[in-house]
Chain A
Amino acid sequence: MNAATQAQPAAALAPAATRGAGLRYALHAEWTKLRTVPGPAWLLLGAVALTIAGSAAAVGATHCPQDLTCPADTTKLSLVGVQFGQAVVAILAVLTITNEYGSGMIRTSLAAMPNRLAVLAAKAILLAALVLVAGAVAVFGSVLAGHLILPGHGFTAARGFHPVWLSYGPTLRAACGSVLYLGLIALMSLGVAVIVRDSAVSIGVVLALLYLFPIVLAFVGNAHWQHRLERWTPTIAGLTIQTTTGLRNLVISPWGGLGVLGIWAAAAMILGALALRLRDV
């Protein structure tokens, strides 16, 4: 971790700093850590590429022949890549903190910055900002792919399909919501990672949170449990933000669903903050 040397100036300044300045120094230190190792940049790039590639592949492979009605939510289809991109975002979020535990750097960080919550807050703010920027690029690329490809595959305005573009209200909501979704996934993953501290176990737990519930839903036919799963699990509820058709049949509204993911992210971050505050490193 080359970043160790970079963090030193902040450490020297920390004791003299006031409480308000603490977060500023923490942000500066964390930003230095993030930009001086190649990993985060590559992961962000990977998240963008995987999201756009997944979406483009899905819309590219979908055709609606002339003589059939296609019950497709074209906006949701164009944003399928988020299902892949979120995994890379999760790695980035987990490594943001577990790399420090793995290398022992965390001791230096906390010695230099005794206000542990400021360290976590700085990490969360920077991570969320980076993921939101990358997510915006990824989601825009996905929408662009749907916008360019789908009309040529039979999903035309003449057949009742709204063009997948940001000028259409529900698509704009789905796109903005997907960016926020990625940000919340990052925060939830960070919270889990702070609690678990080991990169491999954290990523296992996060991947289970992301992908297990949708699979269980595919197997469960009991209407009560379907309802519960669709309403209260992080990814199923969170991804309702991408739905633009059949809104009446949703068991939770799009923003409500994103709110559920927000609750999961907040719970993970609060538990993580408590763990960081109460534990000895």
Chain B
Amino acid sequence: MTTQAISVPRPEAGLGDVSRSRFGAVLRAEWTKFRSVRGWVIGMILAALLTIFIGVFAAANASIGCAFNGGPQKTGKACVPYVPHGPGGEVVTDSFSFVRQPLTGNGSITARVTALTGEHANLSAGPAQVGNGNTVPGLTAWAKAGIIIKQSTHQGSAYAAMMVTGSHGVRMQDNYTGDIAGMPGSVSAARPRWLRLTRSGDTITGYESADGTHWTQVGAVQLAGLPSTVQVGMFATSPNYIVTQNSFGGDSSNSGPAQATGVFDHVGLTGATPGTWAGTTIGGGGPAGGPGTFGGRGSAPYSRNGGTFTVTGSGDIAPVTTGPGAGLPTVTIEQSLAGAFLGLIAMVTVAAMFFGTEYRRGLIRTTLAATPRRGAVLAAKAVVIGAAAFVTGLVAAVVSIAVGVPKEENQGQVLLTVPVLTEVRVIVGTAAVLALAAVFAVALGAILRRSAAAITIAVVIVIVPFLLSAARIVPAGVGAWLLRLTPAAGLAIEQSIPRYPQVTTVTAPVQGYYPLSPYAGLAVLCLWVVAALALALVMLRRRDA
């Protein structure tokens, strides 16, 4: 292959220019090859149409029915319960017992917590309701009691709170998603926790202390647009008690209601307040008591004995996620993208043929004679097919989401809305996964010189790990490792609902949770693609066409 070098006289002179324009020419040649084979263009269009069709089909049939609400069977949005949205736009749970009074202007609240106790359903004794006797004492990990400054008594309004929790120590949380750790350890009469929140304009600062004298700042948060009059006070709540079998299956879980009781004293307020306390249950989050339904109107949300307040509540102040922790049927935007798997098969087929066909027809000899720099041929093919797959995938993903998501919403499920930037990441990420898979198939086509084998490897290595873990064919632990190590890790870019540490739920692949973060997952896929391209380059250079 040394003879071809003759056609490049004086490589020193303007090397950059020459090689760039040459690469441009190779790129144009490969683009011409791609667009002039009608089957490949049809294949790409078909990939987009099938992606949209399957995605919208899956979205329109994602429903698990409308029976959860009880009563007569309803359809459509009629059976979606009211769900509040937090200041960040996400769906939230906002249910708790609140002992409060209004605070106008700047001020602070201080309280000492001397006990946090709770009870939850006795899951080993069949169906249970807190309050009907079939309960056992115990705290859920994220049972919480503490002090809170909240915009209003409306569900979903902005807040900042200092709290003690079941097993995560003192926390400062704000606006449902914010979570800052304070001192660890559980609370008791012997080891009380002093909590303080101060408001200064839009800034709320949280402090903690073990003795009421030495204070440590836990965090300071901005609550944009906080009105001049806010509600301050004490709260208690507890999310459902969930038992999961993480070691096998991961998707087998059992949950029942729970409630938490906090005991407060040394309650002090500064600032303009009326000085009288009122008890309110926010979002039906009072103590359990009524038969049949948990969180019904039972006993009062709090009792007072001199300076000691005892507050009992249930529910949670947290974002809603997928899985049994949500307590209601949820659906995510990425469920409209199920069709991308079919699109991927079609695109991988076209991509593998893009290289494989040249070997079968012998065109590769002409190609390599015209462009002796084999790396440039590989790069040009990768760029052309990657760009084509990306654009096709982008169009398909946008249409799938635009058409599919309203259909998901219309079946009595709560759509877990996400910020616009997250939605953009999911859509562009899906297109990127398709483009990377196509480039991967081009590299495999160059390595194997056989389209069929390249297609099979690319499809099996990307799709089957997802299938095995998402369709519960292998145990959750095995599935998680498959989704860390194989190219299927890249699908993590589609996960729209993050894994919130402050919410207990089942975070298995089948619930839409990937073991890696979105960009780490995409990086794993990129590594596979880079490795395949490198191997393809070595093989192309070493082999005689």
Contact = CB atoms under 8 A, between A and B. Distances in A.
Given A201-B349, A207-B456, A216 B467 contact: no
B470 A218 contact: yes
A148 interface: no
Contacts of B108: none
Interface string B223-264: 000000000000000000000010111001000000000000
Contact of B459 (A57, A69, A201, A211): A211
A65 interface: yes
A16 interface: no
Contact of A88 (B249, B353, B456, B473): B456
Contacts of A102: 360
Contacts of A71: 248-249, 252
Interface string A69-101: 111100001001001100110110011001000
Interface in A204-247: 204, 207-208, 211-212, 214-223, 225
A95 B452 contact: yes
B383 to A, nearest CB: 21
A58 B456 contact: no
Interface string B43-64: 1000000000010011001111
A203 B455 CA distance: 7
Interface string A39-76: 00000000000000000011001111100111110000
B463 interface: yes
B356 interface: yes
B346 interface: yes
Interface stretch (B76-84, B474-482, B533-541): B474-482
Interface stretch (B146-154, B191-199, B307-315, B337-345): B337-345
Contacts of A98: 452
Given A80-B473, A83-B464, A204-B348, A216 B456 contact: no
Interface string A231-265: 00000000000000000000000000000000000
Interface residues of B, number: 50
Contact of B248 (A70, A90, A201, A207): A70
Contact of B474 (A58, A70, A94): A58
B467 A204 contact: no
Given A200-B349, A222-B61, A87 B460 contact: yes
A171 B357 CA distance: 44
Contact of B452 (A64, A94, A219): A94
B342 to A, nearest CB: 5
Contacts of B245: 68-69
B80 to A, nearest CB: 15
Contact of B478 (A58, A204, A214): A58
Contacts of A221: 61-64
Contact of B481 (A61, A64, A203): A61
A67 B252 CA distance: 15
A76 to B, nearest CB: 8
A241 to B, nearest CB: 14
Say whether chain A's binding surface is mostly helix, strand, loop, or mixed.
helix
Given A70-B248, A77-B474, A207-B455, A83 B468 contact: yes
A80 B348 contact: no
B464 A211 contact: yes
Given A80-B468, A200-B349, A220-B61, A68 B248 contact: yes
Interface string B314-328: 000000000000000
Contacts of B468: 80, 83
B451 interface: yes
Contact of B456 (A70, A72, A91, A215): A91
Given A216-B54, A221-B61, A80 B247 contact: no
A62 B58 contact: no
A109 interface: no
A222 B62 contact: yes
A199 interface: yes
A264 B187 CA distance: 64
Given A62-B478, A80-B473, A98-B452, A216 B338 contact: yes
Most buried by A among B62, B64, B450, B453: B453
A200 B444 CA distance: 13
Contacts of A222: 61-64
Given A58-B478, A62-B475, A63-B247, A84 B345 contact: no
A226 B475 CA distance: 21
Q: Which residue of A68, A69, A94, A212 has the most chain B CB atoms within 10 A of its CB atom?
A: A212
B338 A215 contact: yes
B510 interface: yes
Contacts of B510: 218
A151 to B, nearest CB: 16
A199 B449 CA distance: 13
Contacts of B470: 215, 218
A217 to B, nearest CB: 7
30 contacts: A61-B474, A62-B248, A63-B247, A63-B248, A72-B475, A80-B468, A80-B473, A91-B453, A102-B360, A201-B39, A203-B451, A203-B452, A204-B348, A204-B459, A207-B459, A207-B460, A211-B345, A212-B54, A212-B342, A212-B345, A214-B471, A215-B466, A216-B54, A218-B471, A219-B62, A219-B338, A220-B58, A221-B62, A221-B63, A223-B64
The 10 tightest CB contacts between A and B, nearest first, are A204-B349, A200-B451, A222-B61, A219-B338, A219-B58, A221-B64, A61-B478, A199-B452, A70-B248, A200-B353
Interface of B: 39, 43, 54, 57-58, 61-65, 245, 247-249, 252, 335, 338, 341-342, 345-346, 348-349, 352-353, 356-357, 360, 450-453, 455-456, 459-460, 463-464, 466-468, 470-471, 473-475, 477-478, 481, 510
Given A88-B456, A204-B459, A212-B54, 9 more contacts: A58-B478, A63-B248, A83-B473, A91-B452, A201-B353, A202-B452, A208-B346, A215-B466, A222-B61
